[in-house]
Amino acid sequence: MKHLITILFFVTHGAFAQIDSDDGLTMKNPKNMNLEQRFELLKTIEVRMKELKVKQLEVQKFKDELDIQKAGIEERVKYLERLKVELAEKLDNKMEKDIQALKEMTKMYEGMKAKKAAGIIEKIDIDMARIILQLMNKKKASAILDGVSEEKAIKLSEHYAGFSSSQKNKTMDSVKRSPSFNKQGDTP
Protein backbone atom coordinates (compact mmCIF):
# COMPACT_ATOMS: atom_id res chain seq x y z
CA MET A 1 0.00 0.00 0.00
CA LYS A 2 2.85 2.43 0.83
CA HIS A 3 4.44 1.78 -2.56
CA LEU A 4 1.24 2.59 -4.44
CA ILE A 5 0.74 5.80 -2.47
CA THR A 6 4.34 6.73 -3.17
CA ILE A 7 3.81 6.10 -6.87
CA LEU A 8 0.63 8.14 -6.84
CA PHE A 9 2.48 11.01 -5.15
CA PHE A 10 5.24 10.92 -7.74
CA VAL A 11 2.72 10.86 -10.59
CA THR A 12 0.78 13.83 -9.29
CA HIS A 13 3.88 15.85 -8.41
CA GLY A 14 5.84 15.29 -11.60
CA ALA A 15 8.52 12.91 -10.29
CA PHE A 16 9.56 9.65 -11.88
CA ALA A 17 6.95 6.90 -11.62
CA GLN A 18 7.65 3.21 -11.45
CA ILE A 19 5.09 1.04 -13.17
CA ASP A 20 4.98 -2.62 -12.28
CA SER A 21 3.71 -4.42 -15.37
CA ASP A 22 3.57 -8.04 -16.41
CA ASP A 23 6.54 -7.38 -18.67
CA GLY A 24 8.66 -6.08 -15.81
CA LEU A 25 9.45 -2.68 -14.36
CA THR A 26 9.59 0.47 -16.49
CA MET A 27 10.48 3.98 -15.47
CA LYS A 28 8.76 7.03 -16.93
CA ASN A 29 8.81 10.67 -16.11
CA PRO A 30 5.18 11.77 -15.64
CA LYS A 31 6.04 15.23 -17.08
CA ASN A 32 6.88 13.54 -20.36
CA MET A 33 3.65 11.47 -20.34
CA ASN A 34 0.67 12.58 -22.26
CA LEU A 35 -2.71 12.73 -20.61
CA GLU A 36 -3.69 9.29 -21.84
CA GLN A 37 -0.51 7.72 -20.42
CA ARG A 38 -1.04 9.45 -17.08
CA PHE A 39 -4.63 8.26 -17.04
CA GLU A 40 -3.45 4.72 -17.84
CA LEU A 41 -0.89 4.92 -15.03
CA LEU A 42 -3.52 6.10 -12.55
CA LYS A 43 -5.87 3.37 -13.73
CA THR A 44 -3.13 0.76 -13.19
CA ILE A 45 -2.45 2.16 -9.75
CA GLU A 46 -6.16 2.05 -8.92
CA VAL A 47 -6.41 -1.60 -10.06
CA ARG A 48 -3.34 -2.49 -8.01
CA MET A 49 -4.77 -0.72 -4.96
CA LYS A 50 -8.02 -2.68 -5.30
CA GLU A 51 -6.07 -5.93 -5.68
CA LEU A 52 -4.02 -5.02 -2.64
CA LYS A 53 -7.17 -4.25 -0.67
CA VAL A 54 -8.63 -7.65 -1.63
CA LYS A 55 -5.39 -9.35 -0.57
CA GLN A 56 -5.42 -7.45 2.72
CA LEU A 57 -8.99 -8.57 3.35
CA GLU A 58 -8.06 -12.17 2.54
CA VAL A 59 -5.08 -12.00 4.89
CA GLN A 60 -7.24 -10.48 7.64
CA LYS A 61 -9.90 -13.17 7.12
CA PHE A 62 -7.22 -15.87 7.32
CA LYS A 63 -5.76 -14.25 10.45
CA ASP A 64 -9.23 -14.09 12.04
CA GLU A 65 -9.80 -17.78 11.24
CA LEU A 66 -6.42 -18.65 12.76
CA ASP A 67 -7.28 -16.64 15.88
CA ILE A 68 -10.57 -18.55 16.20
CA GLN A 69 -8.78 -21.87 15.76
CA LYS A 70 -6.10 -20.84 18.24
CA ALA A 71 -8.75 -19.91 20.81
CA GLY A 72 -10.45 -23.26 20.20
CA ILE A 73 -7.18 -25.13 20.65
CA GLU A 74 -6.37 -23.20 23.82
CA GLU A 75 -9.83 -24.02 25.20
CA ARG A 76 -9.34 -27.69 24.30
CA VAL A 77 -5.93 -27.73 26.04
CA LYS A 78 -7.49 -26.21 29.18
CA TYR A 79 -10.24 -28.84 29.08
CA LEU A 80 -7.70 -31.66 28.66
CA GLU A 81 -5.60 -30.30 31.52
CA ARG A 82 -8.68 -30.22 33.78
CA LEU A 83 -9.54 -33.74 32.66
CA LYS A 84 -5.97 -34.90 33.37
CA VAL A 85 -6.14 -33.50 36.91
CA GLU A 86 -9.57 -35.05 37.44
CA LEU A 87 -8.42 -38.45 36.17
CA ALA A 88 -5.29 -38.31 38.31
CA GLU A 89 -7.42 -37.62 41.38
CA LYS A 90 -9.75 -40.50 40.52
CA LEU A 91 -6.78 -42.80 39.93
CA ASP A 92 -5.23 -41.76 43.25
CA ASN A 93 -8.54 -42.43 45.02
CA LYS A 94 -8.89 -45.81 43.31
CA MET A 95 -5.32 -46.77 44.17
CA GLU A 96 -5.83 -45.69 47.77
CA LYS A 97 -8.98 -47.83 47.99
CA ASP A 98 -7.16 -50.79 46.39
CA ILE A 99 -4.24 -50.44 48.78
CA GLN A 100 -6.59 -50.26 51.74
CA ALA A 101 -8.46 -53.34 50.50
CA LEU A 102 -5.17 -55.23 50.09
CA LYS A 103 -4.08 -54.26 53.60
CA GLU A 104 -7.40 -55.50 55.00
CA MET A 105 -7.14 -58.73 52.98
CA THR A 106 -3.58 -59.19 54.26
CA LYS A 107 -4.83 -58.90 57.84
CA MET A 108 -7.43 -61.58 57.08
CA TYR A 109 -4.75 -63.91 55.73
CA GLU A 110 -2.55 -63.19 58.73
CA GLY A 111 -5.48 -64.19 60.97
CA MET A 112 -5.88 -67.56 59.22
CA LYS A 113 -3.99 -70.70 60.03
CA ALA A 114 -0.91 -70.96 57.80
CA LYS A 115 -2.08 -74.20 56.14
CA LYS A 116 -5.48 -72.75 55.15
CA ALA A 117 -3.92 -69.49 53.93
CA ALA A 118 -1.36 -71.50 51.91
CA GLY A 119 -4.18 -73.42 50.20
CA ILE A 120 -5.78 -70.14 49.11
CA ILE A 121 -2.47 -68.53 48.10
CA GLU A 122 -1.82 -71.62 45.98
CA LYS A 123 -4.96 -70.88 43.91
CA ILE A 124 -4.95 -67.09 43.53
CA ASP A 125 -3.17 -64.97 40.94
CA ILE A 126 0.61 -64.87 41.40
CA ASP A 127 0.77 -61.07 41.57
CA MET A 128 -2.01 -60.90 44.15
CA ALA A 129 -0.33 -63.61 46.21
CA ARG A 130 3.00 -61.79 46.03
CA ILE A 131 1.48 -58.50 47.19
CA ILE A 132 -0.33 -60.15 50.08
CA LEU A 133 2.82 -61.94 51.22
CA GLN A 134 4.87 -58.75 50.90
CA LEU A 135 2.44 -56.81 53.09
CA MET A 136 2.35 -59.56 55.69
CA ASN A 137 4.41 -60.05 58.80
CA LYS A 138 7.50 -61.89 57.49
CA LYS A 139 7.19 -64.74 60.00
CA LYS A 140 3.56 -65.39 58.99
CA ALA A 141 4.42 -65.04 55.27
CA SER A 142 7.22 -67.58 55.74
CA ALA A 143 4.86 -70.06 57.38
CA ILE A 144 2.34 -69.66 54.53
CA LEU A 145 5.04 -69.96 51.88
CA ASP A 146 6.15 -73.18 53.58
CA GLY A 147 2.65 -74.60 52.96
CA VAL A 148 2.40 -73.91 49.19
CA SER A 149 3.69 -76.19 46.47
CA GLU A 150 7.34 -75.95 45.51
CA GLU A 151 6.40 -74.66 42.05
CA LYS A 152 4.21 -71.89 43.49
CA ALA A 153 6.89 -71.02 46.07
CA ILE A 154 9.46 -70.67 43.29
CA LYS A 155 7.20 -68.41 41.24
CA LEU A 156 6.33 -66.32 44.30
CA SER A 157 10.01 -66.00 45.17
CA GLU A 158 10.86 -64.88 41.64
CA HIS A 159 8.01 -62.37 41.61
CA TYR A 160 8.87 -61.20 45.11
CA ALA A 161 12.43 -60.46 43.98
CA GLY A 162 11.13 -58.82 40.80
CA PHE A 163 12.56 -61.37 38.40
CA SER A 164 11.08 -62.52 35.16
CA SER A 165 12.35 -65.83 33.85
CA SER A 166 14.52 -64.05 31.23
CA GLN A 167 16.07 -61.81 33.90
CA LYS A 168 16.77 -64.67 36.28
CA ASN A 169 19.92 -65.98 34.55
CA LYS A 170 21.36 -62.50 34.01
CA THR A 171 20.80 -61.59 37.64
CA MET A 172 22.31 -64.82 38.96
CA ASP A 173 25.42 -64.20 36.87
CA SER A 174 25.68 -60.68 38.34
CA VAL A 175 25.20 -61.98 41.89
CA LYS A 176 27.91 -64.61 41.42
CA ARG A 177 30.34 -61.94 40.18
CA SER A 178 29.63 -59.58 43.09
CA PRO A 179 32.35 -59.19 45.75
CA SER A 180 29.96 -59.98 48.60
CA PHE A 181 29.02 -63.31 47.00
CA ASN A 182 32.69 -64.28 46.62
CA LYS A 183 33.45 -63.34 50.25
CA GLN A 184 31.16 -66.15 51.37
CA GLY A 185 33.60 -68.68 49.99
CA ASP A 186 31.80 -69.35 46.70
CA THR A 187 33.55 -68.90 43.38
CA PRO A 188 31.95 -67.80 40.16
* DSSP string for residues in 88-127: HHHHHHHHHHHHHHHHHHHHHHHHS-HHHHHHHHHHS-HH
- pLDDT tens string 164-187: 555 555 555 665 666 665 554 444
In a domain, 149, yes or no: yes
Instruction: Report CA dihedral (79, 84, 88, 90) to the nearest 10 degrees.
Output: 40
In a domain, 46, yes or no: yes
Domain count, the chain: 2
In a domain, 105, yes or no: no
In a domain, 16, yes or no: yes
Question: Dihedral of CA 159/163/166/171: which sign?
Answer: negative
Domain that holds residue 156: 112-169
In a domain, 118, yes or no: yes
pTM across the whole model: 0.47
In a domain, 150, yes or no: yes
In a domain, 62, yes or no: no
- Type of residue numbered 15: A
**Beta-carbon count within 10 A of 103 CB:** 11
What distance in Å separates the CA atoms of residue 58 and residue 70, rounded to the nearest whole number?
A: 18
In a domain, 176, yes or no: no
Averaged confidence pLDDT in the chain? 80
What distance in Å separates the CA atoms of residue 19 and residue 27, rounded to the nearest whole number?
A: 7
Q: What is the mean pLDDT of residues 107-118?
A: 93
